[in-house]
Amino acid sequence: MTIGLIDELAGQGVAYMPVFPLGGLSPLQSSTLLTSWTRSAERERPSTRGQVEGRGFRTR
């Protein structure tokens, strides 16, 4: 019988706490996360075409 991750952790005395909402995300939350991620990615975007092509990003 295969022991699941949560059962294995419980056997070791380790508590498991999911950090992702069990019900999923509503469209409002999804768009908020996407906006946040996009802003973060824009701050880290390379500035030269060579850097963009070297890192596998598409150029506009």
Q: Tens of pLDDT along 11-50? A: 999 988 877 665 666 655 666 766 776 666 666 655 565 5
Cβ–Cβ < 8 Å for 59, 49: yes
4/35: higher pLDDT: 4
Say what the pLDDT of residue 1 is. 47
Does this model's pTM top 0.75? My answer is no
Torsions phi, psi for 19 (to 5 deg): -105, -5
Question: Quick one: tokens of 37?
Answer: 């991620």
Number of helices (H), then strands (E), in the chain: 3, 0
